[in-house]
Amino acid sequence: MEASASDAQLEAVVQKIKEAGLATHLSVGTERSVIGVVGDSHTKELLRDALEASPGVEKVVRILQPFKLVSREFRPGGTVVSVRGAQFGGVTVTVAAGPCSVEDREQILTTADAVKAAGGTLLRGGAFKPRTSPYSFQGLEEEGLKLLAEARSRTGLPIVTEAMDAAQLDLVAEYADIVQIGARNMQNYPLLRQAGRARKPVMLKRGAGATLEELLLAAEYVMAEGNYDVVLCERGIRGFGNYTRYTLDLAAVPVLKHLTHLPVIVDPSHATGKWRYVQAMALAAVAAGADGLLIEVHPDPEHALSDGPQSLNLENFQRLMTAVGAVVGAVGRTL
């Protein structure tokens, strides 16, 4: 729409699109509003001229990418996902940190205090864990969600935690501020749709074998249901090296920032699989333009029930935050 278009003009255009049997997705920006039109391509082509001629319309742009709502054109200014005072996108770089799994009350409260003291903005912790082996610790489930909620009331840190299937999502969303969809579930379409219907921000992790286009189409599922608060997370893809757990695809950051308006964060913990390399890749991620980091932190990594080898202890997390702060400043952003 033109910057000067009135609400009535916008409403009239929306009506015209709906009458043609197409769906609308509205993005209201500070300067102008963009109406996304989705549905049958032939119908869209027939409507094109009528829309172009409607009062208040600046231009009709065909989005050639297979992903539409996710594409940069839909929101040229970029999306900022805000949750309880925390922000993904914009000038801030946001750090979510915490243990891989919530293990017990003392572990999660100690970690939450340390994350807050070091300048972390959100607390992460898994209550439902997608483990490679069925014999590994599977998480505390609802008890874990309750402990996360207690850590949130104590510290004020919003919480990020994973839902593994559609049936579980509503329960997780009752407690979580951001619902994490893990790498193994990136293409679990019923889960993506359910996350799109739940009105809670979603953190979508890239599958270890997924292309960026597949990641963006997965995000499109969430947005198509009307939930526009999606944060993308690069967490490493399967390579042939064996010194690190996965291969961090750092170029994914500028590529995604170019293709989509959604915020992009990096998880150097799962990407490297070894605590020793986490800080270096965290700094590189911020330098590459990431909007945030997801870091695994544990008070006693040697005894962690999951992902101990890649977890920073509290002291090393504090060190990482100091180093990240310097790079954040150097690239003209704020923590």
Q: Under the rule (CB under 6 A), what is the footprint of ligand PEP?
A: 100, 126, 130, 182-184, 205, 235, 270
Q: Which does 130 bind (CB under 5 to 8 A by kind): ligand PEP, Mn ion, none?
A: ligand PEP
Query: Is 250 within 8 Å of 283 (Cβ atoms)?
Result: no
Site for Mn ion in 230-269 (CB under 5 A): none
**Strand-pair partners of 291:** none
- Do 177 and 84 meet the contact criterion of CB atoms below 8 Å apart? yes
Out of ligand PEP, Mn ion, none, which partner does residue 299 contact, by CB within 5 to 8 A per kind? none
Burial 163-191 (b: 16+ CB within 10 A, else e): bbebebbeebbebbbbbbbbbebbbbeeb
Measured from each CB, the residue nearest to ligand PEP is 182
In this complex, which beta carbon is closest to ligand PEP, that of residue 34 or of residue 97? 97
Helix H segments across the chain?
7-19, 41-52, 105-118, 142-155, 166-175, 189-197, 212-224, 252-259, 268-272, 275-287, 314-330
Is position 103 an interface residue for Mn ion (rule: CB under 5 A)?
A: no
Q: Shortest Cβ distance from residue 323 to Mn ion (Å)?
A: 22
Smallest distance from the beta carbon of 138 to ligand PEP, in angstroms?
Answer: 12
- State in angstroms the smallest separation of the CB of 270 from ligand PEP: 4
Looking at beta carbons only, is 182 or 201 nearer to Mn ion?
Answer: 182
Among 1, 81, 86, 100, binds Mn ion (CB under 5 A): 100
CB of 100: closest distance to Mn ion in angstroms? 3
Nearest CB to ligand PEP, comparing residues 13 and 312: 312
Rank residues 74 and 246 by Cβ distance to Mn ion and give the closer one.
246
Q: Cα(322)–Cα(315) distance, rounded to whole angstroms?
A: 11
State the nearest-atom distance from the C-beta of 166 to ligand PEP, in Å: 17
Considering only the stretches 45-53, 186-194, 201-209, 301-309, report the one whose residues sit in contact with Mn ion under the rule CB under 5 A. Answer: 301-309
The footprint of Mn ion on residues 185-214 (CB under 5 A) is none
17 CB-near residues (< 8 Å, 6+ apart): 23, 24, 35, 37, 47, 51
The rounded Cα 285 to chain-centroid distance in angstroms is: 15
Residue number, 220 or 296, with CB nearest to ligand PEP: 296
User: Min. distance of Cβ 26 from Mn ion in angstroms?
Assistant: 37
Contact with Mn ion (CB under 5 A) among 218, 307, 311, 312:
307
Question: Which residues have CB under 8 Å from 174's CB, separation 6+?
Answer: 145
Q: Tell me the closest approach of the beta carbon of residue 26 to ligand PEP, in angstroms.
A: 32
Residue 125 · residue 102 · CB < 8 Å: yes
**Phi, psi dihedrals of residue 18, rounded to the nearest 5°:** -65, -40
- What are the residues whose beta carbons fall under 8 Å from the beta carbon of 277, sequence distance 6 or more? 244, 268
Site size for Mn ion, by CB under 5 A? 2
List of residues contacting Mn ion (CB under 5 A): 100, 307
